[in-house]
Amino acid sequence: MAEAIIEDIQAWTALKMDEYKKIHDLVIELERREEALKSRQDSEAPAVLLRRRNLGDQIWRLKTEIELVWADLHSHRGVLMSRLCRTRRVDE
């Protein structure tokens, strides 16, 4: 039973880390785009400002999503670790 829980912990961690990496890569790409817009000569033009704001909103949303991924990761891992502790106590 303990081995199955350990495998669940490892699988869950890998799944959430993959999810984190995908979101993080998107954030990096959007931040690059935002920086490119900031460095343009017409960076204060209304259309460019609107695109920058849109990118900023997307970055904020994705960073919030990262926080949710971390919370989900730690919450579920905590549940699995508690199960593992109970299982090991029973096995003793």
Confidence (pTM)? 0.83
Q: Are 56 and 34 in contact (CB under 8 A)?
A: yes
Category of 40 on φ-ψ map: left (φ > 0), alpha (ψ -120 to 50) or beta: beta
Q: Are 61 and 26 in contact (CB under 8 A)?
A: no
Q: Are 87 and 5 in contact (CB under 8 A)?
A: yes
Cα–Cα distance list, 74 to 29, 36, 64, 77, 78 (Å): 26, 35, 16, 5, 6
Question: What is the full per-residue pLDDT of the chain (92 aa) written as tens digits?
Answer: 889 999 999 999 999 999 999 999 999 999 999 999 999 888 889 999 999 999 999 999 999 999 999 999 999 999 999 988 888 777 66
pLDDT at 91: 67
